[in-house]
Structure 1
Amino acid sequence: MYGFIVNKVSGNGRALKIWPQIEKMLQEKNVRYCVRFTEKSKHATSLVQELISKEKVTVIVAVGGDGTIHEAVNGLIGTNIPLGIIPAGSGNDFSRGLGIPFEHDQALERILKEKPKIIDVGYVNSTSFCTVAGIGFDGEVAQTTNVSIYKKLLNFVRMGQISYIISAVRVFFRYKPANISLIIDKKLYNFSNVWLIAVAILPFYGGGLVICPKAKSNDGLLDICIVQGMSRWNFLRTFPLVFKGTHISSPSIKILKGKELEIYSSTPLIVHGDGEMMGQTPIRIRIEPSALYVI
């Protein structure tokens, strides 16, 4: 039994638009399924739990974007129920990182044919994430994007990834870098004039930005990108390099790896995970190896 969770607002309604086509394919293939539609923020988490306990589903399929997946994962942790994804959001970075097709028919075919694989999951304090947690500039950009009008407009024309770039430009002119202390696997690092810290399980965020090019979903390690010591002008010049992941050659960017870290800052910094707000520093981030089954 496949349990589908369709986010009504993902991709400015794209998930809802493609659902009839998905349902037709399921009926043609005589696949047993049930479906639930999200009605509010964080609804997908409780829907996952409901489908598992009441409908006895053996697979959960999220039809939506990274926010939908984030909520579904938080409902699946601790179970052996695999997650399938049909991308229908603005960024789709989780799907991009795992090579899941963006076309709904191809994504569904893979869900019905492939076997589950197991991947790592990260935690910001007690809340899980499965792509990237961002601190500082990243956090403010994610918050700005989530409340923007242009995100909805760009989602409508399937150009939602551009909303991150617009927000980054807006935040750029007001953001003030901070001094940071990191404790990574019990080793202390101090950095001054830090723009952002990205803690990654998968390489992508912000709709395809390759923030940690070598991040792997099953190596039991977090990839940690620290951008520090840059002038405002150098930061602006370096930012476009993130589209191809070539920014890591800059001497002002450090890539570290670890299993857990604590982050302390001279001023409170906004933290996001999978684009969802998760509070402010100080925080603790850790990895839980082999914690989630994905088709």
Structure 2
Amino acid sequence: MPDYPIGHESISTVALLTNPRSGTGSACYAAARATAQLERRGVTAVSFTSSTPEDNTRVMRQALADDNFEAVIVCGGDGLINSVLQITAETGMPIGIIPAGSGNDTARQFSIPFDPVQAADCIADGFVTTTDLGLVSDDNGHQMWFGTLLGCGIDAYATQLAESLGHRVSGRYKFSLASVRQLLKPTIHRFTIELEDTSLVPYSTPGQVQRAAARDGRIPDSGNLTLDRRISIVTFGNTRSYGGGRLACPKADVKDGRLDLTICENVHPLRYARHYRNFLAGHHENIPFVTNYRCRKARITCPEMTIPVYGDGEPMLTMPLTVEAVSAAGRYIVPAP
């Protein structure tokens, strides 16, 4: 069993990365308030600004090269956190969060205050927890980390559409609007998903167990299970939510060394609409076309290799892909229990 250390650590100097475009431009204001509060608490924040994933990664590599920082503080949303994870995963460097994005699902997972002053106090208190991260790899040897969820079905198309809306629609409403549009005119693909170390999610109801067995057969003793059919939603969850609190993987556990997998079958859009609110609220047990698995690793292939794949709201790699949980790879500064 991997070790998941938690506890208070000394935080005196931090690198503060801000995306001025996050949260429809509110990130700079949040960063200023957080910086002032950190200084009042005796924490020196050295500020860095960037606005693209590539720039974020470059800036963070430069910032962390001198080894003067005890933590990286992200003032932005899940996409900016994702950029930082590409540098800090498996290094032991903790990430602090000043929520200033559209969805802020990482902050929601760890109950980090949305008020920048309170979030700064949380960072100054220095309570650090260790979590799993998701790792996605393609056949060319490229790898990317994700901290929340990874999707490659209707939800990925919705994320892609939400991005194209820019600032014309604010915050989490972009994802709601995009999701509705995708549900009305869904793009469905055939997936082959090979799961390793598989089980149903804990506390599955008898109905969920029966429906899963009817679709995919009983899970073999080896734990290896293959799904091969047209599927509308394929979502792997290290954490519970995306899109600003939509509970796509409501039972996901960041300290179990596995990923939850939510599968939605190819059904008529009216059936989606009937269960849409229950799905996003995490009430999956009574939705007949939803199956919830848990796995350590998965191989995903699709004939349409260019379909969108998004993790933490950011574009990932192209099919075919391997997705896996990496135990104890991430560290976050969170409110003390």
Give the TM interval when normalised to the shorter protein: over 0.9
Aligned to 1:30: 42
Task: Report the alpha carbon displacement of residue 107 of structure 1 after superposing the two structures with TM.
Answer: 1.0
Aligned to 2:284: 247
Task: Report the alpha carbon displacement of residue 251 of structure 1 after superposing the two structures with TM.
Answer: 2.3
Of 60-69 and 189-198, the range deviating more from structure 2: 189-198
> 1:111 aligned to 111, 123, 136, which one?
123
Aligned to 1:48: 60
Task: Report the alpha carbon displacement of residue 266 of structure 1 after superposing the two structures with TM.
Answer: 4.3
Larger radius of gyration: 2
Cα distance 1:278–1:187, how it changes in 2: closer, same or farther (>3 A)? same
Q: Deviations over 1:119-163 (max 9, x none)?
A: 0010121100000000111111111111213xx1443xxxx1110
> 1:164 aligned to 164, 172, 175, which one?
175
Task: Report the alpha carbon displacement of residue 267 of structure 1 after superposing the two structures with TM.
Answer: 3.3
Amino acid at match of 1:237: R
Whole-Å separation in 1 of the counterparts to 2:48 and 2:187:
43
Whole-Å separation in 1 of the counterparts to 2:284 and 2:131:
26
> 1:147 aligned to 164, 171, 190, which one?
164
Q: Which runs of 5+ in 1 are unaligned?
A: none
> Tell me, what secondary structure is at the counterpart of 1:202?
coil
Whole-Å separation in 1 of the counterparts to 2:227 and 2:85:
33
Q: Note if 1:128 corresponds to 2:145.
A: yes
> Tell me, what secondary structure is at the counterpart of 1:42?
helix
Q: Note if 1:289 corresponds to 2:306.
A: no
Whole-Å separation in 1 of the counterparts to 2:310 and 2:164:
14
Of 14-23 and 60-69, the range deviating more from structure 2: 14-23
Of 88-97 and 234-243, the range deviating more from structure 2: 234-243
Task: Report the alpha carbon displacement of residue 50 of structure 1 after superposing the two structures with TM.
Answer: 1.6
Q: Which runs of 5+ in 2 are unaligned?
A: 1-12, 138-142, 197-222
Contact 1:181-1:188 at 8 Å conserved across structures: no
| Bigger strand share | 1
Q: Which TM-score applies when normalising by structure 1? A: 0.92
Aligned to 2:24: 12
| Bigger helix share | 1
> 2:268 aligned to 215, 218, 231, which one?
231
> Tell me, what secondary structure is at the counterpart of 1:249?
coil
Q: Deviations over 1:10-62 (max 9, x none)?
A: 00111112222222222323322211111433322222222211361111100
Whole-Å separation in 1 of the counterparts to 2:97 and 2:121:
11
Aligned pairs for 1:195-274 (under 5 A) are 195-268=232-305, 269-274=307-312
Task: Report the alpha carbon displacement of residue 263 of structure 1 after superposing the two structures with TM.
Answer: 1.1
Cα distance 1:20–1:176, how it changes in 2: closer, same or farther (>3 A)? closer
Q: Which TM-score applies when normalising by structure 2? A: 0.81
Whole-Å separation in 2 of the counterparts to 1:108 and 1:13:
19
Cα distance 1:285–1:91, how it changes in 2: closer, same or farther (>3 A)? same
